[in-house]
Structure 1
C-alpha cells in the first residue's frame, strides 16, 4: 500500500512523544499550556514595541534611524519559549562533553538543540498545535454527547 491512514496519536495529559531524528524524541506539550500562551503574548508585545520604535512595517522605516544596538531576534525568543514551555523532556540526546551518555533535558539545552537544528522547532510547533486542536475537538465531542 502507498498510504496507510493511521489512528490519531495518543496524547497523555496534553503531551506527546515526537520523533525528530533516528533514535531521538521529544516530549511535547500543548499550545494550550497557559504559561506558554502568557509568555508568547509578552514576547509578541516586546517585538511589537521594537517595531513601533523603529517604524518597522511603515514607509518611514530606515536602518539609518535604528540605534546601533543589537536587538535580539524573534527566533531566539521563540526558541526559548518552546524550550521552556513546549518541550518537556527528551530521549536519545547527549552533549559533546559527555558523548554516549543521555543528557537530562533542561530548557538551556533545549535552546541549544533548536539553534543547532532549527527544523526541530517546527516539529515541536506542529505537534503542540495538534495536541491543542485535538483536545478542543474531544471537548466539543464530549459536550455534544451531554
Structure 2
C-alpha cells in the first residue's frame, strides 16, 4: 500500500501570491476576485459586444476587410492592460537591458513589455489569479458553515415581551 500526501499551496496572504517565473524572477499576482478587476473586465466585455454588434461579427454581413476595424483597440490589448493593471502587482529580479544588475520597479507599461516577450506570463498570471479567487471563496464558505463561538453574555433565544411606559398607549376613538 502506498500513501500519497498532497500539500496545498501556502495561504495567499492579502489575496496575493508571489510566483517564480524564472530562477530569481518573481511576480506578485493579485486575485481575479478583486472588484476592480471584475468591473474593468465587465467593461471590456461590454465594449467588445458593442463592437461585435456594430460590425455584424458572427453574421453573414460581417466583412473583415472593413477599414474601420483596425482603428478599434483590440480585445487582446485591452485584456493585457487589464492583467498588467489589476493582476500583476509587482515583481522582483527584473532588470532593464540598459541597467544590468539593477532591479527595475514594476509599472503597467513594463508589465506589457514582459508579456510581449513572455506571453506565457499572461496566461500563468490569469490562472494563479483565478486560483486565489477560488480559494478565497472556498475559505469564506467554510467559515460560514462554522457555528459561532459562545460568548460570555446570556443565552440567546426568544425575547421577553416588554411593557409600554405609562401614558404611551394610544386610544382609538371611533
Using structure 2 for the length normalisation, give the TM-score. Answer: 0.77
How far residue 58 of structure 1 moved from its aligned partner, in angstroms, is: 1.6
Please, which runs of 5 or more residues in structure 1 have no aligned partner? none
**Alignment match, 2:102:** 101
Give the Cα separation in 1 of the matches to 2:77 and 2:65. 24
* Residues 68 and 29 of structure 1, relative CA distance in 2, 3 Å threshold: closer
1:54/1:66 contact within 8 Å kept: no
**Alignment match, 2:117:** 116
Bigger Cα Rg = 2
SS in 2 for 1:17: strand
* Residues 68 and 48 of structure 1, relative CA distance in 2, 3 Å threshold: closer
**Alignment match, 1:47:** 48
Please, which runs of 5 or more residues in structure 2 have no aligned partner? 148-174
**Alignment match, 1:142:** 143
How far residue 102 of structure 1 moved from its aligned partner, in angstroms, is: 0.4
What RMSD in Å do the two structures reach over aligned CA positions? 1.8
**Alignment match, 1:126:** 127
**Where has structure 1 moved over 6 Å in runs of 4 or more?**
none
Q: Which stretch of the first structure deviates more once superposed, 61-70 or 47-56?
A: 61-70
Q: Which has the higher contact order (CA 8 A, sep 6+)?
A: 1
